[in-house]
Amino acid sequence: MTLVACTHKEPAGWSGYVEGDYVYVSSPVGGTLQSLAVRRGQAVDAGAPLFLLESGSETAAREEAAARLAGAQAQAANATKGRRPDEIAVTEAQLKQAQAEAQRASTELTRQQQLLSQGFISQSRLDDARTAVTEANQRVSELNAALRVARLPAREDERAAATASAEAARHSLKQSEWRTQQKQQAAPAKAQVADTFFRVGEWVPPGQPVLSLLPPASTKARFFVPESEIASLAVGQAVSLSCDGCPSRINARIEFIATQPEYTPPIIYSNSQRSRLVFMVEARPQGDEGAKLKPGQPIDVQRTRS
């Protein structure tokens, strides 16, 4: 009697290491590092203060921009109004005086006409009286027009210019406030401080990271698969990770497969050399399991059985 042993072939496995997607926190505005609120290895919550750069110049610029905005808004408001009440009152008084003068000139003209008809004055005296009446009436018309203008707001173009100046001042203030806010940075998410790159008192150039953070979900497995096995893998496929000291395997899913070999053998590939081709593959741990892994840690990767 012959016994046939049934064997089950374990899924192929690969070796790799843990990679961290670090968050490098910087300020787009340079300045002297005034305070560093965290240290390496410290756990921080989202929104926790990280560092502060000296912001005296930005604060002064913000206050200047606020003053300019107030002035521009006052000018824009003034452009919608007429002249001051006291100035209008002066024009009204001048108008009343001119109207009285016109009435007096008209009365004088009537009297001169009567005297001319009686032969007591010459024609030139009557012409002078008529001229006085004309001048007095023109003065009344002039002051009436001046009073209407005094009650009108500024011209439409002037009002538009004043409004545009106020809007420009408002945007300038926003820019100053933004620059001031950028001098202090907070944690964008819950994370661990991986490293700090500056000390208090040092100058930090614009855009230069002051520290790096490693959020719990920012670790991934990076491993290398031979060319003969790469066709059996696909993005989204489940794999499991194991490491020294890990109490259990960690579930992960493939999120990236390199399109070119990671290591290149000689230019002309032969059948014997094809086994040297390996492709880099990255897999992301599921849920919070990535917090169990540390960047640089060696791992073993295996397909998840169906």
In this predicted model, what pLDDT tens digit does every residue of 245-296 receive, in sequence order?
887 889 999 999 998 886 654 444 444 445 578 899 999 998 777 778 889 8
pLDDT of amino acid 5 = 46
pLDDT of amino acid 180 = 87
Average pLDDT for residues 109-132, to the nearest whole number? 82
pLDDT of amino acid 306 = 54
* pLDDT band at residue 55 using 50, 70 and 90 as cut-offs: confident
Highest mean pLDDT among 12-21, 235-244, 283-292: 235-244
What is the 3-state composition of the chain as percent helix, strand, coil, each rounded to the nearest 5?
A: 40, 25, 35
Domains and CATH numbers, the chain: 13-19+215-303 (2.40.30.170), 82-152 (1.10.287)
- The larger pLDDT score, comparing residue 249 to residue 143, is at 249
* pLDDT band at residue 91 using 50, 70 and 90 as cut-offs: confident
**In whole angstroms, how far apart are CA 278 and each of 116, 202, 274?**
126, 45, 9
Residue 114 predicted with pLDDT over 70: yes
Residue 4 predicted with pLDDT over 60: no
Average pLDDT, the chain: 83
Widest Cα–Cα separation across the chain: 169
pLDDT of amino acid 61 = 75
What gap in Å lies between CA 261 and CA 38, rounded to an integer? 41
What gap in Å lies between CA 30 and CA 233, rounded to an integer? 46
What gap in Å lies between CA 256 and CA 21, rounded to an integer? 14
Q: How many CB atoms lie within 10 A of CB 73?
A: 17
3-12, 37-46, 67-76, 199-208: the lowest-pLDDT one: 3-12
Residue 160 predicted with pLDDT over 80: no
Contact (Cβ atoms closer than 8 angstroms) between residue 246 and residue 258: no
Residue 67 predicted with pLDDT over 90: no
Contact (Cβ atoms closer than 8 angstroms) between residue 281 and residue 299: no
Give the residue from 151, 190, 229, 138 showing the smallest Cα distance to 23: 190
pLDDT of amino acid 283 = 93
* Sign of the dihedral defined by the CA atoms of residues 60, 61, 63, 67, in that order: positive
